Structure 1
Amino acid sequence: MIYHPGSFNEDMHFFVHSGSELGARHLQCVLIFLGLTTAMMQRVNLSVAIVAMMDKNSANPDFEEYQWSEKTKSYVLSSFFWGYFITQIPGSQLAQRFGGKVMMLGCVSLSGFLALLTPLSVRIGDWKLFCALRITQGLMQGSIFSAIHTLLSKWIPLEERGSLGTFCYAGLNFGSVVVLMVSGWIASSSFGWPGIFYFCGLASIIWSVVWLFLGASTPSDYNWISDEEKSYIEIALSSAVNFKHDQESMKTPWLKILTSAPFWVLLFAQSTSAWAYWLLVTQTPSYMKYVLGQDIKSNALMSATPYLVSLVLTFLFCVLADFLIRRGYTSIDTSRKLFNTIGFWVPVVPLILLGYMSPDQSLLAVILLVIAVSSNTAGSLGFLTNHIDLAPNFAGILMGLCNCSANIMGFLAPLTVGFIVTEATNVQQWRIVFFIAGGCFFFGNLLFILFGKTNIQPWNYPKSQKDQRDHISFKAIINE
């Protein structure tokens, strides 16, 4: 379908009609959601499994326990991120070149296969080989967010980007919920702690088979999309970006990106969020066991509760954001900053109070965790889609750069905890950890509010394309 300005009313009717129906783009979002779920399960599984692996009083004596020091434990917990941040930038380039489908398939399937080998690696090489395997898993998953951003930039129109993009990233919370809820039961069953890794690996392999047949990098590559929906997506995207382009032939404007203030604000916001988020994900089970005295089974269930509430709130935030934008109550810029503020500033006080909990206040601790983690999900409607706002043509590249920095924080956070918390039962040491996390959230959002942007940046376009846009704009002024 070719867009003709003279048929505006007909096209607007077509736009509304096509945009309001469920279609292929929604199926792609569901598959991305589930793919991110399985990927997240592989990251989070260790935070519960390691408690069972090091528990002398485990309910399942059939499997070996490991007496690792807190320092060694911090190495193991952070090792995934040592590899993960290395492939962020190369992975973003590959996603732009080969498409999001191929990269996401490789990320999930290969790391899922390694998950199946995890128990064997620990048995053969103790924590050192275990760390090596987790590093390799991180290398495999390093380009997953870049792949997803590349897919979203090809599939999702601007007005749906906040809600559908956030739905896709809700897979992070859903993955945490699933693995935290079942891990305690699996560890206490006949499968033991190795069953946690088998479960996550098998889920990843199954998803990969489904994605191989039903996933697609672009609407043009998808055989089961209707002509109406395909035209709707192409018109919406070309309207937002103004011109079609061959992304594979476009050179990445590295210097302009690295000297762009909105990019650095986004990078800082994503990095501070990652520090606080991964600290909660990797350290909450240990905090609840050693400070609040919860056993492994209730530990997993209680740890999952905040992410379950977070998942529900994610969908509510998506509906609210979509409603406010469609009704004209908020602009894209206001919406991004409003929800980013909810996601960053609301958790600050609960996080700090968490460090003042005692064993007889475990219920209150869970409530504080629920508030901190669930409200943080609103940030997905803020900074997490801002990469596509700034540069749709290079959304994967921006995500690769920002996620590289963010995941340096991802492995520094557990290491910092290992340095600060020398005695796992010392609540005074845990307070320092939670104060640092609260500070990250506060300053990350402050900069985003003051200096964050949502308009497409000039360096998003090749020079020839930018000249063409300027020429058309000049002609429009003359004609007026």
Structure 2
Amino acid sequence: MDDLKKIEVEKPASCIGVRHAQVLLLFLAMLLAHSMRTNLSLAIVAMTDPSSEDSFAWDTQLQGLILSSFLWGYVVLQVPAGEAAARWGGKIPMCVAVGGNAAVSLVLPAATYYGGWQFLCGCRVLQGLCQGFLFPSTHCLLSKWVPLEEKSRLGTMVYAGASLGTGLQMLAAGFTARYLGWAAIFYINGSLGAAWTALYLLYGAASPEDSKIISKEERDYIQGSLGHVEGQKQVATPWRSMATSLPFLALLAVHAGQTYGFWTLMTGIPSYMSQVLGFDIGTNGVISALPSLGLCLLSFPTGFLSDLVLRRRWLGITASRKLFNTVGSWGPALALIGLSYSGDVTTAVVCLVFSVALNAGVIPGFMLVHLDMAPAVAGPLMGVTNGISNGLAILAPLVTAAILDDETDPLQWRKVFLLSALLYLITNGFFLLFGTSERQPWNEPAATSKCQPCQPAAASKCQPCKPAADPDRSSSDTAAPEKVV
């Protein structure tokens, strides 16, 4: 791999370690959080079914408002959540993300029955606020727990939980609504989320140093790979340098484009299945689950393939990230264009599956660039890009509702899908031009304060200050890399 190891240490003899248990817990957190995030997309179909005795008379515009309400809260705490995770560790913020969502899920049905759509929106805003901690905390935990040599496959494994949770939710929610009522969807999600929170409080840890069960051998291996040392100081987030960094802006652009397109699909697929393709609630759930399950299945081989590409040095890190991200952005764009002009149900379903499943490429793509560019501030960095991109994604269900005067008109849905495809194409193009996985100089702003001007008498001995190691450059081309805080 291209100069990835910072300190040479021997890999533990055991193939499975505490880091893998932490990754499994984070995988389950992603699964449950995204189940609770997307459950309303299908539940609202049952909640507004005129044939049901306890249905609500909500028109298309109001449904779009309700579906977007999660993001109102979600974007608010992204940046503070990143700072909190960086300062105090990711464990407690992660518990807030999942446990808070679980608590609200348990009271949401009663709140909706007695308070109507206003209380439902209030519950979704609260869930969004709690999940604002999810991605920044996850990135912070990954930056502490996952060795560089295992970053792509273990990072992909964690984020695959998001797509699996969405898929399983779509698969189960339709039958749950049919046989137990839509309220049972939220009760089941809430109970599972509460159980995970209790488990993570017992066995989760913010870092290898905080774990009581990790071996010294494994802890030294993780710290050596990442360049971490005990007692290291937290680096202050370099806000100005980030805001004026073109690679950061490219990362922000591609994150925003992917989130808008993905959220459009997640909130729109159940309605499209019901109103255009004519599936009933049970079949709707099964078909709506296929894209997310396909995304989950593709996530694992893409993660392993990404690590293989880097280990064999077929591509540098930046080139690898861009390649996989192009598959994850332009692939869905082409599938959406095909969906827009599909003439039969089978073709439409196939295009829908690929439009979501190919997003697997963005996990070993831009999703890991935060950790490449600035591991010392990965949590705040994810908080900024995720917060802004999801702020723009609030518009997705609202724009969809504004375009759809008639939900049964395929031509109006074509406009929705082509708009998402265009954003996928443009934002990834910008990332290809200006994005990078090179370690940014603002990753270690404190290092610049230690550099003193050379004194005349010592000029002959003075060496220029060296930036952090460029992960795209081979070890033979660079001096020994500095430790990353």
Conservation of the 8 A alpha-carbon contact between 1:289 and 1:296: yes
Gaps of 5+ in 1: 1-7
Residue 408 of structure 1 corresponds to 391
Distance apart, 1:216 and its partner CA: 0.5
| Letter matched to residue 55 of structure 1 | D
Conservation of the 8 A alpha-carbon contact between 1:96 and 1:247: no
Conservation of the 8 A alpha-carbon contact between 1:265 and 1:452: yes
Q: Deviations over 1:364-395 (max 9, x none)?
A: 21111121111111111110011111111110
The aligned runs of 1:149-298 (5 Å cut-off) are 149-189=139-179, 191-238=180-227, 246-248=232-234, 250-298=235-283
The aligned runs of 1:257-406 (5 Å cut-off) are 257-357=242-342, 361-406=344-389
Distance apart, 1:290 and its partner CA: 0.4
Residue 473 of structure 2 corresponds to none
Distance apart, 1:206 and its partner CA: 0.9
Distance apart, 1:20 and its partner CA: 7.2
Residue 5 of structure 1 corresponds to none
Distance apart, 1:356 and its partner CA: 2.9
In structure 2, what is the Cα distance between the partners aligned to 1:183 and 1:464? 52
CA gap 1:55/1:394 in 2 versus in 1, 3 angstroms:
same
Work out which of the residue numbers 16, 34, 38 in structure 2 matches 1:40.
34
Residue 4 of structure 1 corresponds to none
3-state SS of the aligned residue for 1:56? coil
Amino-acid identity (%): 38
| Letter matched to residue 460 of structure 1 | N
In structure 1, what is the Cα distance between the partners aligned to 2:167 and 2:292? 5
Residue 455 of structure 1 corresponds to 438
Q: Deviations over 1:59-82 (max 9, x none)?
A: xx4xx1011011110010000000
Structure 1 moving runs of 4+ over 2 Å:
17-20, 243-248, 355-358, 462-479
CA gap 1:469/1:378 in 2 versus in 1, 3 angstroms:
farther
Distance apart, 1:303 and its partner CA: 0.5
Q: How many equivalent pairs are there?
A: 457
In structure 1, what is the Cα distance between the partners aligned to 2:130 and 2:404? 30
3-state SS of the aligned residue for 2:363? helix
In structure 2, what is the Cα distance between the partners aligned to 1:298 and 1:258? 46
Q: Deviations over 1:283-309 (max 9, x none)?
A: 000011001111000000001011112
Conservation of the 8 A alpha-carbon contact between 2:322 and 2:365: yes
Distance apart, 1:107 and its partner CA: 1.1
Conservation of the 8 A alpha-carbon contact between 2:96 and 2:133: no
> TM-score when scaled to structure 2?
0.90
Residue 29 of structure 1 corresponds to 23
| Letter matched to residue 200 of structure 2 | W
> TM-score when scaled to structure 1?
0.91
The aligned runs of 1:51-90 (5 Å cut-off) are 51-58=45-52, 61=53, 64-90=54-80
In structure 2, what is the Cα distance between the partners aligned to 1:160 and 1:271? 27
3-state SS of the aligned residue for 1:455? coil
In structure 1, what is the Cα distance between the partners aligned to 2:135 and 2:276? 34
Distance apart, 1:470 and its partner CA: 11
In structure 1, what is the Cα distance between the partners aligned to 2:108 and 2:345? 32
Conservation of the 8 A alpha-carbon contact between 2:78 and 2:383: yes
In structure 1, what is the Cα distance between the partners aligned to 2:315 and 2:450? 32
Residue 114 of structure 2 corresponds to 124
Gaps of 5+ in 2: 455-461, 467-477, 481-485
Conservation of the 8 A alpha-carbon contact between 1:458 and 1:466: no
Conservation of the 8 A alpha-carbon contact between 1:288 and 1:299: yes
Conservation of the 8 A alpha-carbon contact between 2:109 and 2:186: yes
* Structure 1 or 2: more helix by fraction: 1
In structure 1, what is the Cα distance between the partners aligned to 2:399 and 2:125? 18
In structure 2, what is the Cα distance between the partners aligned to 1:423 and 1:199? 33
Distance apart, 1:355 and its partner CA: 2.3
Distance apart, 1:363 and its partner CA: 2.0
Conservation of the 8 A alpha-carbon contact between 1:247 and 1:393: no
